[in-house]
Amino acid sequence: GAVVSQHPSWVICKSGTSVKIECRSLDFQATTMFWYRQFPKQSLMLMATSNEGSKATYEQGVEKDKFLINHASLTLSTLTVTSAHPEDSSFYICSATQLSSGIYTDTQYFGPGTRLTVL
């Protein structure tokens, strides 16, 4: 159980185009989903937190108009990189929280990641 998928697993696009990445919780309802970015040989950096039906909360320094997040259902969140540039090339990873009934020790489960290359 607790499987998170991402699509696509990798994408190559031209500079100036927009790219959409999907994150799905396959066997549970995710109250909260998160988006991370990871550059080579670096750790994961949290970009934003999204709750179903509400606006995402972005971390300091992350441009909300560039990284559009939509969390339309309890099983799907999307990240759209608008007007992508080569510096946006990175490994994008989503995660989802599955609440354990009665105890707030919810665990985050991560997707396999999407590698974006902007030419």
Partner 1 sequence: DAKTTQPPSMDCAEGRAANLPCNHSTISGNEYVYWYRQIHSQGPQYIIHGLKNNETNEMASLIITEDRKSSTLILPHATLRDTAVYYCIVRAFYNTDKLIFGTGTRLQVFP
Nearest CB to partner 1, comparing residues 57 and 70? 57
Shortest distance, position 16 Cβ to partner 1, whole Å: 27
Instruction: Output 17 or 100, the one with its CB closest to partner 1.
Output: 100
Q: Which of 96, 88, 100, 47 is nearest to 69 (CA)?
A: 47
User: C-beta of 30: minimal distance to partner 1 in Å?
Assistant: 10
Report the relative pairing of strands 114-118 and 90-100 from DSSP bridges: antiparallel
Q: Which is nearer to partner 1, 50 or 88 (CB)?
A: 50
Structure tokens at 73: 């259902």
Query: Quick one: 14 or 41, whose CB is closer to partner 1?
Result: 41
Cα angle at 9 between 68 and 2, to 5 degrees? 85
Residue in the block written with tokens 């007007």: 83
* Environment class of 76 (CB within 10 Å of its CB; exposed 0-12, middle 13-18, buried 19+): middle
Binding interface with partner 1 (CB under 8 A): 4, 6, 32, 34, 36, 43-46, 49, 57, 91, 93, 95, 97, 104-113, 115
